[in-house]
Chains A and B, each alone.
Chain A
Amino acid sequence: MKTYLLPSLKLTAVLIILCSVLYPLLIAGIAKTAPGQGKGVTLSLNGKVVGYENIGQKFTKDEYFWSRPSAVDYNAAGSGGSNKGPYAPDFLASVKARIDTFLVHNPGVTKEQIPVDLVTASGSGLDPDISIEGARIQVQRIARKRNKNEKDLFDLIDKTKEKPLLGFLGPEKVNVLKLNIALEGLPK
Chain B
Amino acid sequence: MNTELLGVVATFIITLAIGIPLGKYISKVFKGEKTILDFMAPLERFIFRICGIDPTKEMNWKQHVAALLSLNLLWFVYAFVMFLFQGSLFLNPDGNPSMSPHLSFNTAASFLVNCNLQDYSGETGVTYLTQLAVLMFLHFVSAATGIAALVVVFKAMREKVTDKLGNFFEIFVKSITRILLPISLVIALLLVFHGTPASFDGKDQLITMQGDTAHISRGPAAGMIAIKHLGTNGGGWFGANSAHPLENPDYFTNMVEVIAQVIIPVALIFALGHYLSRKRLAWVIFGVMTIGVLIFLYPALHAEIKGNPAIAQMGPSSSGGNMEGKEVRFGAPASAYWCILTTVISTGSVNSMHDSFMPVSGCMQLLGMMTNCFYGGNGVGILNYYIFLIIAVFISGLMVGRTPEFLGRKIEAKEMKIATIIALLHPLLILAFTALASFGLVRDPSLPWLNNPGYHGFSEMLYQYTSCSANNGSGFEGLGDNTPFWNITAGFVMLLGRFLPIIGPIAIAGILAQKKYIPESSGTLRTDTGTFGLMTYAVIMIVAALAFFPALTLGPLAEYFSRH
The 0/1 profile, CB within 8 Å of A marked 1, for residues 238-259 of chain B is: 1110011110011110110000
- The residue that B324 contacts in the complex, of A7, A58, A91, with Cβ under 8 A, is A91
Are A123 and B352 interface neighbours, CB within 8 A?
Answer: yes
15-61 of chain A: CB within 8 A of chain B: 15-16, 18-21, 23-24, 26-28, 30-31, 34-42, 45, 49-61
Tell yes or no: A157 within 8 A of B by CB: no
Decide if A14 is an interface residue (CB 8 Å cutoff): yes
**A49, A115, A130 interface centre (most CB from chain B within 10 Å):** A115
| 9-residue interface stretch from B313-321, B433-441, B546-554 | B313-321
- State which of B23-31, B193-201, B292-300 sits at the interface with chain A: B193-201
A10 surroundings in chain B (CB, below 8 A): 50-52
Complex interface bits, B31-56 against A, C-beta within 8 A gives 1, otherwise 0: 00000000000000001001111000
A86–B560 Cα distance when bound, in Å, is: 10
A114 CA to B356 CA in the complex, in Å? 20
Task: Give chain B residues whose Cβ lies under 8 Å from the Cβ of A28.
Answer: 198-200, 220
B414 interface residue (CB < 8 Å to A): no
Smallest beta-carbon distance A39→chain B, Å: 5
| Chain B residues whose C-beta falls within 8 Å of the C-beta of A21 in the assembled complex | 132-133
Does residue A104 face the partner (Cβ distance < 8 Å to B)? Answer: no
Query: A147 to chain B: which residues have CB within 8 Å?
Result: none
Least CB distance from B200 to A in Å reads: 6
Q: Bits for B301-328, please: 1 = Cβ < 8 Å to A, else 0.
A: 0000001101100111111111111111
> Which of B74, B216, B320 is close to A8, meaning CB atoms less than 8 Å apart?
B74
Q: Which residues of A contact B197 (CB under 8 A)?
A: 31, 36, 38-40
Q: How far is the CA of A98 from the CA of B274 in the complex (A)?
A: 56
Q: Is A155's CB within 8 Å of the partner chain B?
A: no
Residues of B within 8 A of A49 (CB): 206
A59-B6 Cα distance, complex, nearest whole Å = 32
Interface residues on A, range: 35 or more
Cβ contact within 8 Å between A124 and B74? no
Residue of B nearest to A172 (CB): B3
Q: Smallest CB–CB gap between A21 and chain B, Å?
A: 8
- B66 on the interface (CB 8 Å rule)? yes
Given contacts A1-B66, A88-B453, contact A15 B198 (CB under 8 A): no
Contacts of A23 in B (CB 8 A): 136, 181, 184-185, 223
On whether the beta carbons of A117 and B51 are closer than 8 Å, the reply is: no
Within 8 A of B (CB), among A85-116: 85-89, 91-92, 95-96, 99, 110-116
Contact indicator A116/B328 (Cβ below 8 Å):
no
Q: A76 to B320, Cβ gap below 8 A?
A: no
Q: Is B530 an interface residue (CB 8 A)?
A: no
Interface residue from B184, B255, B311, B477 paired with A169 (Cβ < 8 Å)? B255
Interfacial chain B residues near A120, Cβ < 8 Å: 311, 323-326
How far is it, in angstroms, between the C-alpha of A15 and the C-alpha of B208 when the chains are bound? Answer: 42
Contact B325 A55 (CB under 8 A): no
Count contacts on B: residues with CB < 8 A to the other chain: 117
- The answer to whether B353 touches A112, judged by C-beta atoms less than 8 angstroms apart, is no
> Which residues on the B side are within 8 Å of A140 (C-beta)?
none
Q: Does B476 contact A (CB under 8 A)?
A: yes
Q: Do residues B330 and A40 form an inter-chain contact, with CB atoms below 8 A? A: no
Complex Cα spacing A54 to B353, Å: 19
B563 and A124 form a contact (CB under 8 A): no
Residue numbers in A under 8 Å from B185 (CB-CB): 23, 26-27
Residue of A16, A57, A121, A126 near B208 (CB, 8 A) is A57
Report whether A114 and B315 are in contact in the complex, using a CB–CB cutoff of 8 Å: yes
Determine if A84 and B451 form an interchain contact, defined as CB atoms under 8 angstroms apart.
yes
Q: Which of the listed residues A1, A27, A52, A115 has the most CB atoms from chain B within 10 Å of its own CB? A: A27
Q: Which residue of A lies closest to B43 (CB)?
A: A18
When A57-B209, A116-B319 are in contact, do A82 and B70 touch as well, CB less than 8 Å? no
Is B500 close to A, CB under 8 A? no
Q: Are B325 and A82 in contact (CB under 8 A)?
A: yes
How far is B208's CA from A74's CA once the two chains are assembled, in angstroms? 11
Choose from A60, A68, A76, A134 the contact partner of B216 (Cβ within 8 Å): A76
Least Cβ–Cβ distance between B127 and chain A, in angstroms? 13
> CB-CB < 8 A to B399: which residues of A?
none
B78 contacts chain A at the CB level, 8 A cutoff: yes
Give chain B nearest CB distance to A82 CB in angstroms.
7
In Å, the complex CA distance between A59 and B240 comes to: 21
Tell me the bound Cα distance from A152 to B136 in angstroms: 49
A4 neighbours in B (Cβ, 8 Å): 66-67, 70-71
Q: Report the Cα distance A69→B452, complex, angstroms.
A: 19
Q: Are A39 and B199 in contact (CB under 8 A)?
A: yes
A16:B133 contact, CB within 8 angstroms: yes
Establish whether residues B74 and A79, one from each chain, have CB atoms under 8 Å apart when the complex forms: no
Question: Which A residues lie within 8 Å of B224 (CB)?
Answer: 24
**Cα of A38 to Cα of B447 in the assembled complex, Å:** 43
Q: Look across to chain A and name the residue whose beta carbon is closest to the beta carbon of B212.
A: A58
Q: Which residues of chain A have C-beta atoms less than 8 A from B121's C-beta?
A: 78, 80
Pair B239/A79 contact, Cβ less than 8 Å: yes
**Closest residue of chain B to A112, judged by CB?**
B315
- Cβ-based interface call for A119 (8 A): yes
In the complex the two chains form, is B3's CB within 8 Å of A127's CB? no
Complex CA–CA separation, A116 to B308 (angstroms)? 9
Residue numbers in B under 8 Å from A85 (CB-CB): 355-356, 359, 452, 456, 459, 478, 559
- Tell whether B366 is near chain A: CB-to-CB under 8 Å: no
Chain A nearest CB: distance from B456 CB in Å?
3
A-B residue pairs in contact (CB < 8 Å), sample of 10: A4-B66, A8-B71, A12-B71, A16-B133, A19-B176, A35-B193, A57-B210, A85-B459, A122-B243, A165-B7
Q: Which 9 A-B pairs have the closest CB atoms?
A: A111-B315, A123-B243, A83-B478, A85-B456, A79-B240, A31-B198, A38-B198, A81-B353, A170-B251
| Contacts A77-B203, A86-B322, A99-B316 known; 12 new A-B pairs at CB < 8 A | A7-B169, A10-B52, A28-B220, A40-B204, A50-B208, A51-B206, A64-B210, A68-B328, A76-B217, A85-B355, A86-B357, A119-B316
Q: Which residues of B contact A (CB under 8 A)?
A: 3-4, 6-7, 10, 47, 50-53, 66-67, 69-71, 74-75, 78, 121, 123-124, 132-133, 136-137, 140-141, 169, 173, 176, 181, 184-185, 188-189, 192-193, 195, 197-201, 203-204, 206-210, 212, 214-218, 220, 222-224, 227, 238-240, 243-246, 249-252, 254-255, 307-308, 310-311, 314-331, 334, 350-353, 355-359, 451-453, 456, 459, 476-478, 559, 562-563
